[in-house]
Amino acid sequence: EPEVTQTPSHQVTQMGQEVILRCVPISNHLYFYWYRQILGQKVEFLVSFYNNEISEKSEIFDDQFSVERPDGSNFTLKIRSTKLEDSAMYFCASSEAGTIYEQYFGPGTRLTVT
Amino acid sequence: AQTVTQSQPEMSVQEAETVTLSCTYDTSESDYYLFWYKQPPSRQMILVIRQEAYKQQNATENRFSVNFQKAAKSFSLKISDSQLGDAAMYFCAYRTRGTYKYIFGTGTRLKVLA
């Protein structure tokens, strides 16, 4: 069964550095999402993306964050200047279509900012 | 704002027995979806079951069923004939129809005892 994949599984970076988290959504899916989970807290929505545009974003998704689909298979989340509080598990998800379809999640990338 | 609450951080069940995981939510919307996702250790979240709010009939998927009480804003998951492979973190999630954002509960860790 097709799965969403994410790389790397664990990323360690220094405060102030830029980091790019990568995701390969399921191939026929058209909608893509990022969520994060700070240790001990709930999984939180960051952004949804369709047709090369952000369709919805949360208040967490500020100017430090950006998303891109650089080619036909990858979907990336960039954090421009990482802060300690960006340390979290980041989950990518995708869905066939938009708001009536369930989302399929990747295994996550654990980001540690030191 | 919508919220999802899972009041049981951890539950245990004997193999072959039945267990019920609780979830309550708060919303002023009338049209929405509710989900249960399962996350095995170090694996991605997998959809277990989905319920549309406009459907009165409780959703069922093999050994998994829900008790959806719309007026009480309650959405519990019943696992029958529990198996060792059911051991995982279970997340309850909500999404308003027409939006992309999932709102998650904090999760319930289910242990299955042999």
- Give the CATH number of the domain where residue A39 resides: 2.60.40.10
Tell me the per-residue pLDDT of B88-105, one tens digit each, with 9 for 90 and over: 999 999 999 988 899 999
| pLDDT tens-digit map of B23-57 | 999 999 999 999 999 999 888 899 999 999 999 89
Domain with B9 in it: 3-113
Residue B80 sits at φ, ψ, to 5 deg, of: -100, 155
Residue type, A13: T
What part of B 10-69 touches A (C-beta under 8 Å)?
35, 37, 42-47, 50
Number of domains comprising chain A: 1
**Å between B103 CA and nearest CA of chain A:** 7
Query: Residue B8: which CATH number?
Result: 2.60.40.10
Domain count, chain B: 1
Q: How many Cβ atoms are within 10 Å of B55's Cβ, its own excluded?
A: 10
Give me the domain span that covers residue A64.
Answer: 5-113
Under 8 Å CB-to-CB from B36, ≥6 apart: which residues?
B21, B23, B47, B48, B49, B50, B64, B66, B75, B77, B90, B91, B92, B93
pLDDT bin (cut points 50, 70, 90) of residue A101 is: confident
Contact B38, B90 (CB under 8 A): yes
